[in-house]
Structure 1
Amino acid sequence: MRFYVVLGLVCLAALTANADKDLRQVFKDWKVQFSKNYGGGLRNELARFRQFKKSAQTIEYINSIQSDWVAGFTLFADMTDEEKAAFTGLKLNDTASEPSVEYGPSPLDPTDPEKQYWDMGPVKNQGSCGSCWAFAGVGAMEGMHLKEHGEFRDFSVQTILDCAFEGYRDGCKGGWSESAIRWAGSDSRISNSEDYGYLPLQQDNKYKGRDGECTDLKKPYNNALRRAKPYAYTAEIPSRTDAGLQHALATQGPIIVSIYSSWALPFYTTGTYKGTGCGENPTPNHAVVVAGYEKDYWYVKNSWGSWGYSGYAYFSRGWENLCSISSRRKILEWRPNENWKICTDTHPSERTPCDSSANLNQEVCQARGCCYDSNYAGTAAQCFIKGKVTIYDGEGKRRVLYASAEEFSQFEFSYYGKAAQVEIGSWKLFVEDDYYGDYKIIKPEDGKVTFDFQSVQILNN
C-alpha cells in the first residue's frame, strides 16, 4: 500500500512539474506581451512568478463559476492585491451628508434611443498612481469636446494630477473627478477668462505617473480648452438609477461614474461583466466613464491601458446598479465659449500658415498663422477656409466639425475647387469622386447636412 501511495505522490509531483513548466512558458510570453522587465535579479523574478501562479488559480476559478465573461492574464497577473488596488484611487466625500439612495428599477424614458455610443479619446493607462479620478475627468472632457465641437483634444492628465490638489494633497493617493473638471473649468489664474477654462494637450505635458509641482501656475502651456468652461456636479438622488444613467447618456454625452472594482475585475478580458465579486451595493473605489449603452450592457471606458476590449468593458444591465455604477454619477456641464474666435483661440498646432508666394488678397489674423482669401478667383493655391458643418443621420445623431468663419457660410467650394477629405469619427463628409477627380459631399441616408462652413481646403484646379 505504501508503495502505491509513494508512486501516486511521484506522479502528482511529475504532473505539477509539467504544469509549472507550461505556466513558465505562458509567463515568459506574457512578459513579452506586456513589456515586463524586472529588476532585483532572480529572487524578484521568482516572486513575480509565484504571484503569477496565484493569478492563474484565480483566473481558473472565475472561469469555472461563470461563463458570461472570460478572465485571463492581463497586465495585473503578476501583481499583489495591494498593487492592483493602486490602479484605482477614487475617494468618496465622506464629509457631505447625503440622503440614502433607494435602489430599484425605474421606468425608462420612451424617447431615449435603444442604443447610444459617444466618440471618445484614446484609452490611457494611469499605472500604479491612484489617479483614476483625474483620468475619468479628463476622459469625459475629451468626449464632451468631441461631441460639442467635433474636435478631438488629447488633454493632459498630468496637469490635473499636478494642480487640482496642489499644496494639500497627493493626487496619486486618490481624489474626486469633479475636482478635476472644476479645476480645469474655473482656474481663472491661468485662463484669465470668464469664457473658457484651461488645460493643455497631452503632448505638451506628458503623464509621469506621479504628482508633481503645478508649473502651469508659473508658466502655462498652450491652452487647448478655449472652446468651453466645464463644470461638474453630482446627479440628483432620484435619478441615480440605471434608467437615470441611460437618460443621461442619451441626452447629455459621456458620463463619469463611480464603480466598485472587485478582486475579479482586473482579470476581465472579453464578454459581459456581471459583477463577479461585487456583492450588493458595494462602496465604489474606482472612477470610469460610461461612453455608451445598449439594452443589455453599459459600454465603459477604463484607465488601465489595453485591458479588456482595448481599454473598454461591457457591464451587464441584467442587475440594477451593478457594482454601484448608477449610484454616484457625475454630471458634466459644458458651457460653450460664445466669444470663441478661430484666429485668437485656435490651438497653435491647428493654425494654418499662409502661402506668402501666392500673392493673394489675404485677410490675416495678426501674426497668429490662420488666414483666408477674401476674394478667391480660383487661380492659385489657397489657405484653409474655416467654418462649421453639422450632420444629422436618420436616427437624429449629430456630428459637428468647427473652425468657423462666417464669410464662407455660403461658399460653393464644389464650383471653385477641391475640398479636402474630412472625417468625423467614422463619418466621411467628403470623398473623392473618381470620375470627375473632385470631391463630393456624402449625405447620411435619410439624414441631413447643414453648413455654417467648415474646414475645407481649396487646392489648385
Structure 2
Amino acid sequence: MTGSHPYLVVIATISTLVSPLSCQNVSSGETGTKLNGSAVDFDSFREHFHRMYEVNGEEFNRRHLNFQNATKRHAYLNSLSTAPQSAKYGINRFSDLSQKEFRGLYLRASADRAPLFSGLKTEGLPAKFDWRDKAVVAPVQNQQACGSCWAFSVVGAMQSVHAIGGSPLAQLSVQQVLDCSFQNHGCNGGSPFRALTWLKQTRVKLVPQSEYSYKAETGICHFFSQSHAGVAVKNFTAHDFSGQEEAMMGQLVEHGPLAAIVDAVSWQDYLGGIIQHHCSSQWSNHAVLVVGYNTTGDIPYWIVQNSWGTTWGNEGYVYIKIGGNVCGIADSVAAVFL
C-alpha cells in the first residue's frame, strides 16, 4: 500500500509526530488504568510488559520515544471519544512500537476488490445476535509477530460454519493455510479472498490445529492424503456492503461469522469500548472475524474477534459502530460455505 494514510496524517499534525506508513478488554482496561494514571512512566510499562532492553541503550531510547509518542496519540484519540460507550485508547503491549513497526508486524492483510452487494435485505432480523451464544466461535487466538491475520479470519469462519452445521467446534490449522496458500505470502501478509479461492479450487482439507500447530512463522507445506479427515470449502461469497450494513447483518445471521478486512491503524492503542472515529474505509490492512452485532443501545455495534490475544481490547474483541462503514468494516466481507 502506498500513499499517506489519513489517520497517520491527522496524528502527525496534532501531536507533531511524523508517522511513516505502516496485518487486552475493557479488562485490559485494568492495564490501561494502572498505566495511564498519574504514576505512569516508562519504567512501569517495562515492568508490566516484561521489557528487557538495556537502560539508556540505543533500543531503550528508541522505545522510550515511541512510548512518549503513543501517550500523545492517546490524548488526541480520547479527546474525540467522549460519549459513555466510546472507545478508549491508552497504554497496552504495543505502546513501545512505532506506528511503522506496528503496521509492519501486524497489519499485513490485503484486500481484493469485492463487488457491491446486490441481494435483498433479510427481513425480521433480531435486534442483537451473537454466534458466541450458540457455542460455535472458537477462542481468541494470538497471531504473535507474524502477519497472518488473513489466515486467522478465514480459518475462524470455517471452523464456526463447520460447528453451525452440527459438528463439534474444533480449532482448524491456521499454520496449514499459512504454509500452503501459495498465492499469499505467509507471515508477510495475504488476502482472505485469495486464501478462500485456493481452498475452493484445490479442495484442500484443513486438519485440526492439534495435528498442524501454529508456529508464528512461515514453514514448508505439509501435505495430507485425500482420505485424511479435515474440513474443505465448497464455496464462498465476497461483497462490499458499504451503505448496506443492515444487509451485512442478514448475511451474518444466515451464513455464520464473516471474514472482513478493515483499517486497523488506530487499533494499536485500543483498550475497549465502541470505535466510532479514527478509522477510515478504503485503507484495508487487517483481517478479522465478525461474529455478531447489537443494535439495542444508543450506539449499535459490530462484535469483532481479533487475533491479537485476549489481553488486547475487550478480551480479544473490538466493537465497531454500525453505520458509516467505520474502519471499512463493510468494504470486503466474505461468507464461507462448506
TM norm structure 2: 0.76
Question: Cα deviations across residues 196-237 of structure 1 (Å, max 9, x unaligned)?
Answer: x511222222222222211x22x56995525x54432313x6
C-alpha change, 1:206 and 1:37, in structure 2 (3 Å) is farther
Task: Tell me the CA shift for residue 330 of structure 1.
Answer: 1.0
* Alpha-carbon distance between aligned partners in 2 of 1:123 and 1:230, rounded to the nearest angstrom: 25
The residue that corresponds to 1:69 in the other structure is 87
C-alpha change, 1:131 and 1:169, in structure 2 (3 Å) is same
Residue 273 in structure 1 maps to residue 284 in structure 2: no
* Alpha-carbon distance between aligned partners in 2 of 1:37 and 1:181, rounded to the nearest angstrom: 40
Question: Cα deviations across residues 379-433 of structure 1 (Å, max 9, x unaligned)?
Answer: xxxxxxxxxxxxxxxxxxxxxxxxxxxxxxxxxxxxxxxxxxxxxxxxxxxxxxx
Question: Cα deviations across residues 315-354 of structure 1 (Å, max 9, x unaligned)?
Answer: 111x3211221121112112xxxxxxxxxxxxxxxxxxxx
* Alpha-carbon distance between aligned partners in 2 of 1:323 and 1:274, rounded to the nearest angstrom: 9
Task: Tell me the CA shift for residue 41 of structure 1.
Answer: 8.6
* Alpha-carbon distance between aligned partners in 1 of 2:334 and 2:227, rounded to the nearest angstrom: 28
The residue that corresponds to 2:292 in the other structure is 292
* Alpha-carbon distance between aligned partners in 1 of 2:225 and 2:219, rounded to the nearest angstrom: 15
Residue 26 in structure 1 maps to residue 29 in structure 2: no
The residue that corresponds to 1:315 in the other structure is 320
* Alpha-carbon distance between aligned partners in 2 of 1:259 and 1:302, rounded to the nearest angstrom: 11
What is the 5 A alignment of 1:247-286? Answer: 247-262=250-265, 264-276=266-278, 278-279=279-280, 281-286=281-286
The residue that corresponds to 2:109 in the other structure is 90
The residue that corresponds to 2:230 in the other structure is 225
C-alpha change, 1:244 and 1:38, in structure 2 (3 Å) is farther
C-alpha change, 1:75 and 1:256, in structure 2 (3 Å) is same
Corresponding residue to 1:111 among 92, 114, 124: 124
Bigger mean CA offset, 131-140 vs 149-158: 149-158
What is the 5 A alignment of 1:5-154? Answer: 22-32=40-50, 36-38=51-53, 42-67=57-82, 68-85=86-103, 86-93=105-112, 101=116, 109-119=122-132, 120-154=137-171
Aligned positions, number: 289
User: Does the aligned pair in 2 maintain the 1:199–1:223 contact within 8 Å?
Assistant: no
What is the 5 A alignment of 1:344-363? Answer: none
* Alpha-carbon distance between aligned partners in 2 of 1:233 and 1:56, rounded to the nearest angstrom: 41
C-alpha change, 1:43 and 1:243, in structure 2 (3 Å) is same
Find the residue that maps to 2:273 and give its secondary structure: strand
Higher-Rg member (1/2): 1
* Alpha-carbon distance between aligned partners in 2 of 1:186 and 1:174, rounded to the nearest angstrom: 20
C-alpha change, 1:182 and 1:93, in structure 2 (3 Å) is closer
Q: Which runs of 5+ in 1 are unaligned?
A: 1-18, 189-196, 335-461
* Alpha-carbon distance between aligned partners in 1 of 2:206 and 2:120, rounded to the nearest angstrom: 39
Residue type of the partner of 2:147?
G
Higher relative contact order (CA 8 A, sep 6+): 2
Question: Cα deviations across residues 60-96 of structure 1 (Å, max 9, x unaligned)?
Answer: 22122322111121221111112211302222336xx
User: Does the aligned pair in 2 maintain the 1:178–1:233 contact within 8 Å?
Assistant: no
Corresponding residue to 2:308 among 298, 304, 308: 304
* Alpha-carbon distance between aligned partners in 2 of 1:129 and 1:254, rounded to the nearest angstrom: 23
Q: Which runs of 5+ in 2 are unaligned?
A: 1-36
C-alpha change, 1:83 and 1:114, in structure 2 (3 Å) is same
User: Does the aligned pair in 1 maintain the 2:243–2:324 contact within 8 Å?
Assistant: no
Corresponding residue to 1:157 among 174, 191, 210: 174
The residue that corresponds to 2:245 in the other structure is 242
